Amino acid sequence: MASFADLVSDVKIMTNRPDLDNEIKLAVKAATLKAHQSDFYPKDLFETAIQWTPIDYFQSLDYRTLVPRWRSLKYIRKYDPTNTTTPSGKIFTIAQPENILDQYQLNRDDICYLAGASIEIRSSTQDAYMLLGCYIFPDITEATYDSWIALDHPYAIEFEAASKIFKTTGDDAQSTQMSQEVAVQYALLQRDSIIAQGY
């Protein structure tokens, strides 16, 4: 299990620069974000229920208030927790704002679109509940650091952080070598984590 302190310690050993504590911590944080942003991984998916008050056909969702580490929308679907047989319903079509009207210039139903800091949702029914699925960023705060990549593929983060430190200190050859190692680690990361089910 690779904690934030473990990652920082390993990078200090790799670079032989224990004096660059703050720089290495920053490099580990940046490398963690970069690794998670290298693709849209199922392990970065987060699902939460939304309860609307008041109930209406049209809703506006302030997504960052609901999900502070928001990265990107995956889906919104109708949801009825009182229906024990089929609680999850229709998935909304994610549209571009210019495509919210149909060919007759009428509002399309059961769609959602991103408009600045909000997701605008137009439903064909008045829904009390919905399910939101989105990709989230890892928590890179030192005290609460949480990254599945740090657990499953720590070298993808450590080699990237070491490469940054070598570049900062002017050791371009070592930085390039570490970057080559990062490419190998990213290939392994994507092979193992793009789909939820193994081969």
16 closest CA partner among 185, 195, 171, 146: 171
User: Which whole number is the average pLDDT over 112-123?
Assistant: 93
Cβ atoms < 10 Å from Cβ of 74: 16
pLDDT level of residue 69 (50, 70, 90 thresholds): very high
- Round to whole Å and give the CA distance between 2 and 8: 10
Q: What are the pLDDT digits (tens) for 84-114? A: 766 678 899 998 877 766 666 667 889 999 9
Say what the pLDDT of residue 198 is.
Answer: 58
Number of alpha carbons in the 13 Å side-chain half-sphere of residue 80: 11
Give me the pLDDT at residue 142, please.
96
Instruction: Tell me: pLDDT of 82 over 90.
Output: no
Classified as helix, coil or strand, 78 is strand
Query: Higher-confidence residue: 99 or 55?
Result: 55
Give the sheet arrangement for strand 45-51, strand by strand: 45-51, 129-136, 70-79, 88-91
CB 147 within 8 A of CB 161: no
pLDDT at 83: 76
Task: Indicate whether 135 pLDDT > 60.
Answer: yes
- CA distances to 45, 62, 75, 137, 170 from 30, rounded to whole Å, are 20, 26, 27, 12, 19
- The per-residue pLDDT for 109 is 86
Q: Report the first-to-last Cα separation within the chain, whole angstroms.
A: 25
pTM of the model: 0.88
Is residue 36 scored above 70 in pLDDT?
Answer: yes
Query: Residue 130 in contact with residue 50, Cβ under 8 Å?
Result: yes
Q: Does pLDDT of 199 surpass 60?
A: no
